[in-house]
Structure 1
Amino acid sequence: MTRAMGRLLDDAAEGGRITPDEALLLYTDAPLHALGQAADVVRRRRYPDNIATYIIDRNINYTNVCVTACKFCAFYRAPGHKEGWTHSDEEILRRCGEAVELGATQIMLQGGHSPELGIEWYERIFAAIKASYPQLTLHSLGASEVVHIGRTSNLDHATVIARLHAAGLDSFAGAGAEILVERPRTAIAPLKEKGEVWLDVMATAHGLGVESTATFMMGTGETNAERIEHLRMIRDVQDRTGGFRSFIPWTYQPENNHLKGRTQATSLEYLRMVAVARLFFDNVNHLQGSWLTTGKDIGQLTLHYGADDLGSVMLEENVVSSAGARHRSNRTELIELIRGAGRIPAQRDTLYRHLAVHRDPAEDPVDDRVHSHVSSTALNLVPVAAAG
């Protein structure tokens, strides 16, 4: 390692703001273990209690009908397709009730951009969930859905956000970010809003008191410089709004979609991204590692590369699973992964407040029902080419 690289890592570990060019240099050239160590120093300073968290939630995908036709997606079906479906209000509420019974505190209601669903549909569903299960946090939809609802209902983004929030939406998920940089975003999702629009919607939401997360799907053909530019775009908005609670990078899955796995991020590229993100995002509190797309071993390693959270047990997940993510887990495994990384496991809520800290293994919660994919349309999937 050169002396200059060592100084840069030391400065970043001490909390100095690094530039995009410096982040790119670290991402491409820093020794892996030194990079992870620097990120872990930042994490330890932010969270000296040595706790790493997880959440119990359910992704309820309310429809697979979508007009956006993203090339990386294996879940969607075009309007009129014989395999298209939209869940009834009763089915969505049933799944919410099941989630509550299993200890979930959060619902991520996400789905396709169906031309049949306007603002009134979302308002009705959110209000019904809040009336039946007021204890559930609705961390749902995302900027792309706001853009879609705005088009179907002829409303501006601020009005859509305000009405969804009034109906019961608590915060936005980072869905739809994929990669925000124009060239790769256009290549994989030409019908989706531009990255600048996604960010503008999120900034508008933050201004209206609706916080969110930010995500990154890596491995669809973007360059290293474009990966860092994605981080830069998010950090600039966060400087203005402070509304992104966490950053969640994950890896593209190659099955049953038009990209066909021609590009993919390696596990080492993913770990390097996690570490650089912790060093680069001096203004984002939390960093979540992904076990769903990278596997539980790499998920555990993210806890040594700057991550302070392992995400959800994921009682249900259909979209990424449809594209080939085969990893499954349960609460016991997540607790053991966290403890095996030398950390203290804790169940959190959407706001990252600790609901239960598992300091004594003898007192760990035991419930075999709390496992991923309790109910999922993606299980036992017969591979088909994405429609459209």
Structure 2
Amino acid sequence: MKELSTIIQKVQSSEDLDFEDGMLLMQSRNLSLIGALADHVRRKTAGDRVMFVTNCHINYTNICNSKCRFCAYFREEGQEGAFTLTVEDIMGKAEKAREAGATELHIVGSLNPKLPFEYYEQVLGRLHEKYPDISLKAYTAVEIAYLAETTGMSVREVLLRLKKAGLTSLPGGGGEIFNEETRKKVCPNKISGERWLDVMGNAHSLEIKSNATMLYGHIETDADIVDHILRIRELQKKTRGFQAFIPLRFHPDNTGLQKDGIVRFGPTGFDDLKTIAVSRLLLNGYINNIKTYWVMVGEKIAQIALHYGANDIDGTVMEERITHAAGAPRLNICQKRGLFI
């Protein structure tokens, strides 16, 4: 407890924690104390309400140029299991989601070189026209940057056209880990962390809200985690555009990192709870909603995490392909309730 005494004082006075404080938290084994501090900040900044949404994930393609080493989802064109949904396929999934009570569609895919920009516009346009009251959270910052690169438009122009078509907000995917050295080892073909932040800043300037994510439990260091969270905090201070922060648990099965013997196992429950708690403490109310993504951490850890700084469990999800491709268990809340499409 003594090594965290300065941090306790800062938390009690609502003072922002710095990088050194974050490192002390990451290196401490006193999870109970860290969790209690995070729970204190959660109560003070977000209150006692647990947030969730009735939503459906629609993954429209898994054909991808990026080929990240932590990803078990992507496929090459023509490879077994490769797919791309038509606009009509997406509309069919949306209809079933609507019937199940969904109020949000979470639409993400891959960097498929054969999909024209008009496909992305049409997906949003058709959905918005038929379901004007459903929130369309679509296309990560990585997808937005890819569309700008392949069309010759600026990121701002891409975002404006998609917003006109019906885009409500951006999901937080693609953040992974910002440290460039680490990022090059796990996703060398993906945009840089700086580029990701730039896309999000552009979206926020256009009044397009977004989430933010961080992938942990692979080859990142404690310093990488602290740096990542603080860089998100700095952008949030400028734009106030992030709605939620979501630490994403790495699942190693079927990934390049596991196949190459670099990562054998994913993070432990201890790691999950500490990452949630440290996120809450470092963000210190600048982002009120800290999600414990139950699809990745499991139902039990998600429940415990609500006492370690989390106040949001994401949503019903209904259908999810990306995490399950990397070994996440199929039995979950949605299946028990018959919500899977």
TM-score by length of 1: 0.83
Following superposition, the deviation at residue 82 of structure 1 comes to 4.6
Whichever residue aligns with residue 259 of structure 1, its letter is L
Whichever residue aligns with residue 123 of structure 1, its letter is E
Q: Give the one of 182, 191, 199 matched to 2:180.
A: 182
Q: Give the one of 297, 302, 311 matched to 2:300.
A: 297
- Structure 2 matches for 1:195-234, cutoff 5 A? 195-234=193-232
Q: Give the one of 251, 256, 266 matched to 1:264.
A: 266
Q: d(CA) in 1 for partners of 2:242 and 2:186?
A: 24
User: How large is the Cα RMSD of the aligned pairs?
Assistant: 1.6
Q: d(CA) in 2 for partners of 1:328 and 1:229?
A: 35
Q: Give the one of 309, 314, 317 matched to 1:314.
A: 317
| Aligned twin of 1:251 | 249
Q: d(CA) in 2 for partners of 1:13 and 1:119?
A: 50
Q: Which segment is superposed worse, 319-328 or 4-13?
A: 4-13
* 3-state DSSP of counterpart to 2:127: helix
| Aligned twin of 1:76 | 74
Q: d(CA) in 2 for partners of 1:82 and 1:331?
A: 27
Whichever residue aligns with residue 276 of structure 1, its letter is V
- Structure 2 matches for 1:38-187, cutoff 5 A? 38-48=37-47, 50-187=48-185
* 3-state DSSP of counterpart to 1:254: coil
Q: d(CA) in 2 for partners of 1:238 and 1:285?
A: 11
Long gaps (5+) in structure 1: 334-367, 376-388
* 3-state DSSP of counterpart to 1:108: strand
| Aligned twin of 2:4 | 5
Following superposition, the deviation at residue 222 of structure 1 comes to 0.6
Q: d(CA) in 1 for partners of 2:81 and 2:271?
A: 36
Contact map agreement 1:102 1:369 (CA 8 A) in 2: no
Following superposition, the deviation at residue 321 of structure 1 comes to 0.5
Residue 9 and residue 118 in structure 1: after superposition, are their counterparts in 2 closer, same or farther (change >3 A)?
Answer: farther
Contact map agreement 1:39 1:306 (CA 8 A) in 2: yes
* 3-state DSSP of counterpart to 1:293: helix
Following superposition, the deviation at residue 262 of structure 1 comes to 3.0
Contact map agreement 1:173 1:212 (CA 8 A) in 2: yes
Whichever residue aligns with residue 8 of structure 2, its letter is L
Q: d(CA) in 2 for partners of 1:104 and 1:13?
A: 40
| Aligned twin of 2:276 | 274
Q: d(CA) in 2 for partners of 1:264 and 1:315?
A: 24
Contact map agreement 1:59 1:314 (CA 8 A) in 2: yes
Whichever residue aligns with residue 30 of structure 2, its letter is P
* 3-state DSSP of counterpart to 1:269: helix
What percent of counterpart residues are identical? 33
Following superposition, the deviation at residue 327 of structure 1 comes to 5.0
1:369 partnered with 2:338: yes
1:36 partnered with 2:35: yes
Following superposition, the deviation at residue 195 of structure 1 comes to 0.4
| Aligned twin of 1:378 | none
Contact map agreement 1:296 1:327 (CA 8 A) in 2: no
Q: d(CA) in 1 for partners of 2:318 and 2:150?
A: 31
Contact map agreement 2:318 2:334 (CA 8 A) in 1: no
* 3-state DSSP of counterpart to 2:295: coil
* 3-state DSSP of counterpart to 2:162: helix
Contact map agreement 1:14 1:42 (CA 8 A) in 2: no
Residue 332 and residue 304 in structure 1: after superposition, are their counterparts in 2 closer, same or farther (change >3 A)?
Answer: farther
Following superposition, the deviation at residue 83 of structure 1 comes to 3.3
Q: d(CA) in 1 for partners of 2:178 and 2:57?
A: 23
* 3-state DSSP of counterpart to 2:256: coil
Contact map agreement 1:139 1:172 (CA 8 A) in 2: yes
1:17 partnered with 2:10: no
Q: d(CA) in 1 for partners of 2:114 and 2:335?
A: 40
Long gaps (5+) in structure 2: none
Corresponding residue pairs, total = 336
Following superposition, the deviation at residue 301 of structure 1 comes to 1.0
Whichever residue aligns with residue 38 of structure 1, its letter is L
Contact map agreement 1:58 1:314 (CA 8 A) in 2: yes
Residue 57 and residue 215 in structure 1: after superposition, are their counterparts in 2 closer, same or farther (change >3 A)?
Answer: same
Q: d(CA) in 2 for partners of 1:5 and 1:77?
A: 46
Contact map agreement 1:5 1:30 (CA 8 A) in 2: no
* 3-state DSSP of counterpart to 1:23: helix
Whichever residue aligns with residue 329 of structure 2, its letter is R
CA distances 1:345-384 after superposition (whole Å, capped 9, x unpaired): xxxxxxxxxxxxxxxxxxxxxxx333xxx13xxxxxxxxx
Q: d(CA) in 1 for partners of 2:330 and 2:280?
A: 25
* 3-state DSSP of counterpart to 1:292: helix
Q: d(CA) in 1 for partners of 2:46 and 2:113?
A: 44
Identify, as 1 or 2, the structure richer in helix. 2
